[in-house]
Amino acid sequence: MAEPLPADLAFLPYGRQMVEEEDIAAVAAVLRGDWLTQGPAVAGFERALAARVGAAEAVACANGTAALRLAYAALGIGPGDAVVVPSNTFLATASAARHAGAEVAFADVDPDSGLMGVAEAEAAIARAAKAGWRVRALAPVHYAGQTAPMDELAALAQAEGLALVEDACHAIGTVDLSGGREVPVGAGRPGVDAGSLTVFSFHPVKTIAAGEGGAVTGSDPVLMARVRRLCNHGMMREPQAGEGFADPEAALDAEGKPNPWYYEMAEPGFNHRLSDIHAALVLSQLGRLDRFVERRARLMALYAERLAPLAPLVRPPALVPWCRPAWHLCAARIDFDAAGRTRSAVMAALRALGVGTQVHYIPVHRQPYWRRRYGDLALPGAMAHYDRTLSLPLFPAMADGDVDRVAAALERALS
Ligand SMILES: *Cc1c(COP(=O)(O)O)cnc(C)c1O
């Protein structure tokens, strides 16, 4: 039995941003300057992010959901099309495809890692074909910070003529090793001819925070130009040859340059722009990404040690061999049945001991909207993952001793 826990310890949430003085100074500098939106901080962040993840280009946007929406739209995904989405993800991976008019072919996941593999993706493609949908893209989710097996998924995408939209909202800083090479998440897969884009979120619980923020990265200039245009109303300042002009008189001045008020639109877009205020925060945070990732790795190593005595009731997240993860979640696997405790009771007991937890995720195919649309799909891996998963506190400001606290609290909550 663990020692009783002191009652005065601060509550540990499951995740939390780490904002420091340099971040505050960066945001204050924007507020004192000339641009509140789409100024030098957005441009600077886009350059720094692209360089960090090894992509030719990054487009910053309002949040991760907007990034997904832009990626699907830039790939021309629409009605009659389908996107393969693992059921173990946040709602947005699927909803954004539906907003594009597409159907969602939900894929099962490995019950231990929570990741979609090739077999699961193939099964979803087969089901979509039966339904008469034209599958256009795979949207693997790098759950908790580990990559889906990208080398195999990229090969599948290429073989089937599909695009890749990597949902890397959990995985900035992760390096994929699945093809025997180091590929930073965000660099994408240039060998996938139908297109390869990666999306990120900078929500405060994610590894770096903008407040609200997101990005799309990629290396295909045509695709990325479309992402950029769609992010800002579909507007172009440069007259496009062959498109016809919005106003031929205004398009070019005497020197053959576009007049300052000229703009034209070839397709309707969104306003999914990021503000300079948010960009300054996330640019400043990006500078500390390596430190955050290191700290999270250290905490995960401590968890592996401290949770070991609680096996087999509690096991740390399952490690996949094909990546060097930047951990977003410590998604522990707990056999609640064997412990004779409900998850609800365990969460309440942990909360009373000052430990916040969360469940990632209720499989998306179980949501009322999707059940109404597709009926009850059998995705046993996603359900088995859901039955046992519980995300324990993981954020860079945690002290080493906090991991002991969580492990001791878990032992009490399960006994
Ligand atoms: C957070 C998250 C999103 C959405 O990002 P927002 O910035 O909250 O819109 C999408 N997919 C996954 C896997 C996420 O974790």
Contacts of 384 (CB under 8 A, 6+ apart): 111
- The helix/strand/coil state of 326 is coil
* Residues 135, 185 within the same domain: yes
What pLDDT, on the 0 to 100 scale, is given for residue 1?
Answer: 43
Distance CA 47, CA 41 (A): 10
Strand 81-86 with 134-138, pairing: parallel
pLDDT at 216 over 60: yes
Both 221 and 369 in a single domain? no
Sign of CA dihedral 64, 55, 18, 36: negative
The residues lining ligand 1, judged by C-beta closer than 6 Å to any ligand atom, are 63-65, 89-90, 92-93, 141, 167, 169-170, 201, 203, 214
Quote the number of domains for the chain.
2
Q: How far apart are CA 394 and CA 149, in angstroms?
A: 24
175 pLDDT more than 60: yes
Nearest alpha carbon to residue 148 among 90, 85, 206, 64: 85
In this structure, the answer to whether residues 308 and 280 fall within a common structural domain is: no
CATH of the domain at 103: 3.40.640.10
Identify whether residues 58 and 69 lie together within a single domain: yes
Q: Per-residue pLDDT tens for 86-145?
A: 999 999 999 999 999 999 999 999 999 999 999 999 999 999 999 999 999 999 999 999
Q: Measure 141 CA to ligand 1 centroid, in angstroms.
A: 10
User: Are 197 and 138 contacting, i.e. CB atoms less than 8 angstroms apart?
Assistant: no
* Same domain as 54, residue 101: yes
Same domain, 273 and 345: no
Structural domain for 366, as ranges: 289-414
166 falls within a domain: yes
Taking the C-alpha atoms of residue 226 and residue 222, their distance in angstroms, rounded to an integer, is 6
Same domain, residue pair 61 and 172: yes
Q: Is the pLDDT of residue 171 over 60?
A: yes
CA-214 nearest atom, ligand 1: 7
Calculate the average pLDDT of the chain.
95
Which residues share a beta bridge with 127? none
Q: How confident is the model at residue 6 (pLDDT cuts 50, 70, 90)?
A: low
Q: Which residues are catalytic?
A: 206
CA atoms within 13 A on the CB side of 115: 25
Question: Domain check: are 306 and 279 in the same one?
Answer: no
Answer yes or no: do 282 and 295 share one domain: no
Find the radius of gyration of the CA atoms of the chain: 23
Pocket test of ligand 1: the residue of 169, 185, 202 to mutate, having most ligand atoms within 8 Å of its CB, is 169
| Domain CATH code at residue 338 | 3.90.1150.10
321-341 confidence digits (pLDDT tens): 999 999 999 999 999 999 999
Helix (H, G, I), strand (E, B) or coil at 224: helix
Q: What are the tens digits of pLDDT across the range 49-81?
A: 999 999 999 999 999 999 999 999 999 999 999
Examine the domain organization and report whether 127 and 29 are in the same domain.
yes
- The answer to whether residues 185 and 325 touch, using CB atoms and an 8 Å cutoff, is no
Q: Are residues 113 and 149 in the same domain?
A: yes
Q: How far apart are alpha carbons 139 and 107 in whole angstroms?
A: 10
